[in-house]
Structure 1
Amino acid sequence: MPFQILTINPGSTSTKVAWFEDDRLLWKDSLEHSSDQLSQFANIASQFEFRAQEIIKAIEKHGNDIKTLSAVVGRGGLLRPIPSGVFRVNEAMIQELMEAKHGEHASNLGAPIASAIAQEVGCPAFIVDPVVVDEMDDVARVSGWPELPRKSIFHALNQKAVARRVARDFFSLPYEKLNFIIAHMGGGISIGAHKKGRVVDVNNALGGEGPMSPERAGTLPIMKLAEYIYTVKPERKDFAKKLVGKGGWVAHLNTNSGRDIAALIAQGNKDAELVLKATAYQVAKWIAQMAAVLEGDVDAIIITGGLANMNELVDLIQERILWIAPVFVVPGEDEMLALAEGALRVLSGIEEAQSY
């Protein structure tokens, strides 16, 4: 009998939900939440009941019976650093997420909602490869200030899922036998060195590190940044938004859209052309850094995420990195499938669920 798997991915203004039979998608929905709907809640945790009910309505609309579920999988939120893999949702995890102990983000609701539905059914609830996956080598953690060690926060779910697919489909080998450099390019950009199944180094995609992206400033000249802080004295919230949310393309061109950038370039906008070239330049430079981390032993470079659909950007990157290793372009970020695949590995006995 095939396994019935429900996947849940809460975002800031929507909740994505999908139903899989093994790894075959039966349906998916993006449940949009208006600002008026969300404004009635004091924080993300208080949206729990509202979002859970919206998911139940979607399941009923598609004619599914939750009693047939084999597992429910939620997007992992901001937890303490954990290894890669599938984790069984437990009370300690739910408490930390609902209290936003490690930071507040809509994804914190993924595990609690998955657990609530699973308890009603009597099936397990899981999370898979949240952004806090940490497999970094100790040497990669050291910065110039002991008080500020480098941290691993990146697009672990998509990077790991894409790595497994490329290893299987193009190398006919397990992911754990290969070395990859993976560049996930979306609203934020993370570039990881995957060494035999471990991400031994990666830029902190939420921590002001790495290439600039559509919405994030990336690495900045540190003395100039200090001068800005002392001179302008920005409010903490405004400053954080300037780094993550209103940095990168938004700061330069007032848009986070690849289509807008392409249209501006087509109209002869030289600023847009330079920003796109600079983004490609910075991504390529970080990829080359990760080649050094892997000591030149690189089986493939994988470019993924939403911006991997932008041929102009991908071509500019490839011009600079083809000398390192073969390049595979895997556009998009099928996070719902990645969640289902994680649960399926556990249900099939291929992988054992870990405890938080």
Structure 2
Amino acid sequence: MESRQRVLVINPGSTSTKVAIYESYTPLFTTKIEHSLTELQSLLTVEDQYDFRKQVVLKTLDEEGINLSKLNAVVGRGGLVRPIPSGTYTINEMLLEDLKNGYSGWHASNYGGIIAYEIAYQLNIPSFIVDPVVVDEMDAIARVSGLQGIERKSIFHALNQKATARLAAKALGRAYEKLNLIIVHMGGGITVGVHKEGRVIDVNDGLYGEGPFSPERAGTLPTGAVIDLCFSEGMTREKALSLMAGSGGLVSYLGTQDGHVIERKIEMGNEEAAFYYKSMAYQIAKEVGAASAVLCGQVDGIVLTGGLAYSQHLISLLTTRLEWISDILVYPGEDEMLALAKGAIRVINGKETPKHYPSGKLVGELEITGGK
């Protein structure tokens, strides 16, 4: 019988920090701490920012009467670090520095690992990150872009895709490492991962890169038209990137990224809304079809997840186009906090061996000591 482990989970967003305490897989406490934009803008350095968030987290836990001495580990959302294989990673000095310096770019999730490390260090317990967005298990052939000097990148919803893959494997009664799955995360961005026997061997870059358009991202665009856009009068790099991720997709066509608003328009007979929503489903289905070719048609299941998977209308549109390929499993939403907690608990219960950053090699059992 597994011992009951208690972990603190920290997941920072752009203007908020989610905090939870899990005992085994049961949440004992969850909250979302909102930060005012004015407050955050006054913090000029990375150190100021993560120290501010850490103090707010500790204050919140203290006010709730939570005894930190009962914690077995602290886990933070992994940020934009070096490309690494999937897994749970102990936070070492190099990982800490890459989080602070934004090795692969900057996102608020970088603060998660830093805060987790600092709290764990004081308590002399382990600290971890789990499946950051830069998880990279792509085959060499999948990296080829078509232009020397440019490689396709693996940037996707790794945390939710991996967690959902385990749920699907359980439902199918087989080990994840023995399955071929296509997993579609549908949120503000959309990523379609080809999971072959436990590895994501191909996936679209769901941020600025490629794939289907989404509620707020443009996805793959005609190259010549993009070049013309970038050289148009008044265009800057920052504005162009904003158009690709933030102002693209359904926002550019319908003025909103809110799926509920769009579906209400469709229900009221808005033909434009219906057309572009159907177009998004069309592009998602095309990406899944391409993913099935990667697996030579040997697909054990297509998994639909993320916030848009709550939409029965979208699921129906996708099912019509995809059910001939394989069975479809639907897991709406994403529970990042539980996924992070599970990663840490699997390690401290000995169900999974943590990995060493950045090599991805397994850490020896004796090395799983405090945050130091």
**Shorter-normalised TM-score: what interval?**
over 0.9
Query: Mapping of 1:1-356 within 5 angstroms?
Result: 1-42=3-44, 44-168=46-170, 170-232=171-233, 234-356=235-357
SS of residue in 1 equivalent to 2:109: helix
Q: 1:57 Cα deviation (Å)?
A: 2.0
Q: C-alpha distance in 2, partners of 1:86/1:257?
A: 33
Q: C-alpha distance in 1, partners of 2:213/2:44?
A: 32
Contact kept, 8 Å, 2:10 with 2:116, in 1: the verdict is yes
Amino acid at match of 2:95: M
Q: C-alpha distance in 2, partners of 1:276/1:61?
A: 45
SS of residue in 2 equivalent to 1:231: coil
Superposed CA offset, 1:256-293 (max 9, x none): 10011012212322221111001100111101111000
Q: 1:230 Cα deviation (Å)?
A: 2.1
Q: 1:62 Cα deviation (Å)?
A: 2.7
Contact kept, 8 Å, 1:78 with 1:105, in 2: the verdict is yes
Contact kept, 8 Å, 1:211 with 1:217, in 2: the verdict is yes
* Worse overlay, 195-204 or 60-69: 60-69
Amino acid at match of 1:91: E
Amino acid at match of 1:162: T
Contact kept, 8 Å, 1:29 with 1:58, in 2: the verdict is no
Q: C-alpha distance in 1, partners of 2:105/2:205?
A: 15
Superposed CA offset, 1:200-233 (max 9, x none): 0000011321111111000001111112222335
Q: C-alpha distance in 1, partners of 2:160/2:131?
A: 9
Q: Could you say what the CA RMSD is over the residues aligned between the two structures, in angstroms?
A: 1.1
Q: C-alpha distance in 2, partners of 1:39/1:119?
A: 28
Counterpart of 2:364? none
Contact kept, 8 Å, 1:212 with 1:248, in 2: the verdict is yes
SS of residue in 1 equivalent to 2:231: helix
Q: 1:43 Cα deviation (Å)?
A: 5.1
Q: C-alpha distance in 2, partners of 1:33/1:187?
A: 21
Q: 1:54 Cα deviation (Å)?
A: 1.4
Contact kept, 8 Å, 1:18 with 1:29, in 2: the verdict is yes
SS of residue in 2 equivalent to 1:355: coil
Q: 1:45 Cα deviation (Å)?
A: 4.8
* Worse overlay, 263-272 or 328-337: 263-272
* Worse overlay, 98-107 or 266-275: 266-275
Gaps of at least 5 residues in structure 2 are 358-372
Q: C-alpha distance in 2, partners of 1:259/1:44?
A: 36
Q: C-alpha distance in 2, partners of 1:248/1:320?
A: 21
- Total equivalences in the alignment: 355
Amino acid at match of 1:259: H
Amino acid at match of 2:146: G
Q: C-alpha distance in 1, partners of 2:149/2:161?
A: 29
Q: C-alpha distance in 2, partners of 1:11/1:44?
A: 14
Amino acid at match of 1:53: Q
Q: 1:344 Cα deviation (Å)?
A: 1.1
SS of residue in 2 equivalent to 1:232: coil
Contact kept, 8 Å, 2:89 with 2:354, in 1: the verdict is yes
Give TM-score, length-normalised by structure 1: 0.97
- Cα 1:45–1:254 change in 2 (3 A) is farther
Q: 1:38 Cα deviation (Å)?
A: 1.2
Amino acid at match of 1:95: E
Q: 1:59 Cα deviation (Å)?
A: 1.5
SS of residue in 1 equivalent to 2:14: coil
Contact kept, 8 Å, 2:213 with 2:280, in 1: the verdict is yes
Superposed CA offset, 1:311-350 (max 9, x none): 1111111110000000011000001010011111111111
Q: C-alpha distance in 2, partners of 1:49/1:229?
A: 38
